[in-house]
Amino acid sequence: MRIAIFGVALLAGCAWQTDALQLGPDTYQTSVTAAPARGGVTGAREMALRNANKKCAALGKSIHVTDISTEHDFPAAGVATVTFECH
């Protein structure tokens, strides 16, 4: 039942995102899952990069992206994870 509700929510245009999580002194990671209506993989990547930029801007620093990974998730969502440093 929970999977069906999650699937309907993703198809309806939802996005789920994490705050930037600190991995090291200046290293962070954020992830976004976006429904097809929110752009799927491309939308997830854009939202994750915006989250990363916001984090560094809030710290008064510049962003340096060290890794971006993307994948498709059930049923048709896109997932993007951005690892970055704030300098």
Task: Give the pLDDT confidence of 29-61 residue by residue, as tens digits.
Answer: 999 999 999 999 999 999 999 999 999 999 999
Burial of residue 52 (CB within 10 Å: 0-12, 13-18, 19+) is buried
**What confidence score (pLDDT) does residue 34 get?**
96
The Cα diameter of the chain in Å comes to 45
Task: Give the pLDDT confidence of 54-87 residue by residue, as tens digits.
Answer: 999 999 999 999 999 999 988 889 999 999 999 9
pTM listed for this prediction: 0.82
